[in-house]
């Protein structure tokens, strides 16, 4: 994930099976980075016998963005990313859902 996040991306484990990727000054590149992470996981072709129809490990991604001048705290950003993540899982997994913080 660090490779896909690039020079300005910070990757950290956030919870048991969750990770956070924070991009500084690259909000326009966020979806591209997220898609590279998603396809990079698929390209590993890690078997997962109980996950039909792919039968391999995939990733669901929730994405949220804020502008530095927004009056939102980091908690607001995390909450919005979490909502987007659960929406991605509910929509069938192996996809990205974006929530713009405003």
Catalytically annotated residues: 17
- Decide: residue 43, CB within 10 A, 0-12 exposed, 13-18 middle, 19+ buried: exposed
Contact predicate 81/63, CB 8 Å:
yes
List the structure tokens of 2.
Answer: 């660090």
List the structure tokens of 84.
Answer: 């987007």
* Residue 40 DSSP one-character state: H
């Amino acid at each position: 994930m660090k490779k896909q996040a690039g020079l300005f991306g910070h990757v950290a484990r956030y919870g048991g099976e969750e990770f956070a990727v924070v991009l500084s000054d690259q909000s326009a590149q966020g979806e591209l980075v997220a898609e590279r992470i998603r396809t990079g996981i698929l390209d590993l072709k890690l078997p997962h016998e109980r996950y039909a129809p792919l039968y391999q490990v995939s990733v669901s991604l929730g994405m949220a963005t804020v502008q530095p001048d927004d009056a939102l705290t980091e908690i607001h950003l995390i909450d919005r990313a979490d909502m987007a993540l659960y929406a991605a899982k509910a929509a069938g997994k192996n996809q990205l859902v974006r929530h713009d913080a405003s």
